[in-house]
Amino acid sequence: MSEINYIIPELFLSISIMFLLLVGVFKKGSSDLIYKLSIFVFFITFILIFRFPLDRSVSLFNNSYVIDYFSSFMKILVLISTFFIMLSSYNYIKLININKIEYPILLLSSSLGMLVMISSYDLIVFYIGLELQSLSLYVLCAFNRENLRSSEAGLKYFVLSALSSGLLLYGSSLIYGFTSSTNFEVISNNLNSLNEGSIFGIVFILVGLAFKISAVPFHMWAPDVYEGSPTSVTNFFSMVPKVAALTVFIRFLFVPFINAFEEWQMIIIFISLASMIFGAVAAIGQKNLKRLMAYSSIGHMGYALAGLATGTNEGIQSSISYISIYLIMNLGIFSCIYCLKRKEIFYEDIEDLSGLSKNHPLISISLLILLFSLAGIPPLAGFFAKFYIFMSVINAKMYTFAVIGLVSTVISAFYYLRIIKIIYFDEKKEKFDIDKNFGLNFSIIFSTLIVLIYFLYPNILLDFISKIQII
C-alpha cells in the first residue's frame, strides 16, 4: 500500500480519464465542460507531485519505477506545458471545430504515458509508457478529419512511429537476451563486458528515441506532421513528448550503459551535429510558420542532445536547462500563432505576418523577443540556454563540436531575423481579429516576460537543476 501512495499523481490522472470519458459518453454536449475539467485535472496532478518531498528517491514495483528529484522535475515540466497549451488553445479548438470530448481525454492519456516514461527504470515499463503516449498522439494528429492534410499527417506519423516502436522493442529484446534483465540497474550489473548484441540493442533503442524527438536522420515525419496537424496539436508535439524522450535518453544512457560511454557517444555526437546543421539550413527556405517551427525544433533538439554527448553531470544539467527554456519560448511562439486569424480563418504563412507591427504592436514585440531568444541573442533566456550547453561541451574539451554548434547557431539566426524583418519592415496587411481569450493572452505575456527577465534571476532555474545528479 505504501508503494501506491507514491504514484498518487498517476493514479489520479488515470481515474480522472475514466471519469471524464464516462461523463462525455452519458452527458450530451459536454465537450466544453470536459475541456475545462481536464485543465483542472492537470493543475491538481501538478499539486499532487509536491505531496512527497522531491529530494528523496524511492524505488517501486521491484525497482522498475523510480520517483526521485529528476523524475519529479521533468513531470512538473510536462504538466505545466500541457496546462498552458490547453489554456492558450481554448478558442482555437472551438473555432476549427475539434472541441470534442475525445480531444482533452487524449491529451490526458498522452501525458499519463509520459509520466510513466519519465519514472520508468525498466525497459518494459518504459515501453508501456511510450505506447500509451504514442497511441494518443496518432489520433490527435488526425483529429481534424475534415482536413485532408491532418489525415495525411496522422497516417504518416502512425506508419513511421510504428516502425520506430518496432525498432525500440527489437533493441529491448536484444538487451534482455544478452543481459538476462530489463531492469536498468540489473543490466548495469550484468554488463561486465560489452558484446555486439548489446551494442546493437543500444543502437536500436537510440534510433527509436531519436525518432520521438525528431532528431536527424529520423526527422522526416516532423515537417509534414507539424504542418498538417491542428496548431494546438503541433504545439503539444513540439514541446511535451520531447521532455519525456529526453528523460529516457538520460536514464537509459547514464544508468545501465554508462560503462559503454565510448560506444554510444559517437552516435549522440552524430545525431546532435546533424540535427543542428540540418535544422538551421533546411528552415531557411520555408514559407509556412508551423513547418519552419518543425525545422527549428529539429535544430533545438540537436543542442539539447549536445549536453548528453559530454558524458558529465554538467552536460546533463545543461540539457535539462535547455529543454526547460525551450518549452517557454515555444509556448510563446505558438500562442502568437493562435492570434493570426481573420473572420474565423487562421493564417499560418510567414508572409501573413507582413507589417504586423503596425496593426498589432504588442504581439509584434512578443514575437520579436521570442524569436531573438530562439536565435540565442543575449541577454534573453535562449542565449543562456545555449551558453550552458556550449560551456559544458567546452569543459569536456570537445572544441570542434562547440565550433560547429556556434556556426549552426549563426545560420539559424538568419531565418529568425527574416521573420522579424517581415513583421517590422514589410507593407502592412489587413488587421487580424483581436483574441480576448484570457488564457491565450496570459500565455503570451507569461512566456515573453520570463524570456525577457530570465537574465536577472538565472539562479532560480539553475538551483533546481543543480540538484539533479545522475552520474
Where along the chain do its domains lie?
2-465
Please give the pLDDT value at position 355.
80
What average pLDDT score do residues 271-285 get?
90
CA distance linking residue 311 with residue 396, whole number of Å: 8
CA distance linking residue 144 with residue 357, whole number of Å: 31
pLDDT at 171 over 60: yes
What's the half-sphere exposure (Cβ side, CA atoms, 13 Å) at 468?
25
Please give the pLDDT value at position 193.
67
Please give the pLDDT value at position 169.
92
How would residue 471 be classed by pLDDT, with cut points 50, 70 and 90? confident
Mean pLDDT of the chain: 87
For residue range 197-247, list pLDDT tens digits in order: 888 888 999 998 898 888 888 888 888 888 888 888 889 988 899 999 999
CA distance linking residue 118 with residue 55, whole number of Å: 16
Cβ-proximal residues to 298 (8 Å cutoff; 6+ apart), any chain: 214, 215, 216, 219, 222, 275, 278, 279, 282
Q: What is this structure's pTM?
A: 0.93
Q: Note whether 302 and 322 are within 8 A (CB).
A: no
What average pLDDT score do residues 3-28 get?
88
Cβ-proximal residues to 120 (8 Å cutoff; 6+ apart), any chain: 64, 65, 66, 126, 129, 248, 251
Higher pLDDT, 46 or 54: 46
Please give the pLDDT value at position 83.
92
What average pLDDT score do residues 415-439 get?
83
For residue range 301-321, list pLDDT tens digits in order: 999 999 999 888 999 999 999
pLDDT at 47 over 60: yes
Please give the pLDDT value at position 455.
86
Cβ-proximal residues to 415 (8 Å cutoff; 6+ apart), any chain: 283, 284, 286, 292
What average pLDDT score do residues 379-393 get?
91
What average pLDDT score do residues 256-281 get?
88
Question: How many of the other CB atoms lie within 10 Å of CB of 289?
Answer: 25
How would residue 192 be classed by pLDDT, with cut points 50, 70 and 90? low
* Share of residues in the chain with pLDDT > 70 (%): 99
How would residue 260 be classed by pLDDT, with cut points 50, 70 and 90? confident
Please give the pLDDT value at position 322.
93
For residue range 98-151, list pLDDT tens digits in order: 888 888 999 999 999 999 999 999 999 999 999 999 899 888 888 877 778 888
**Residue with grid cell 525551450, as numbered in its chain:** 326
Please give the pLDDT value at position 425.
85
Higher pLDDT, 340 or 450: 450
Please give the pLDDT value at position 275.
92
Q: 426 is written with which cell numbers? A: 514589410
Higher pLDDT, 428 or 15: 15
pLDDT at 1 over 60: no
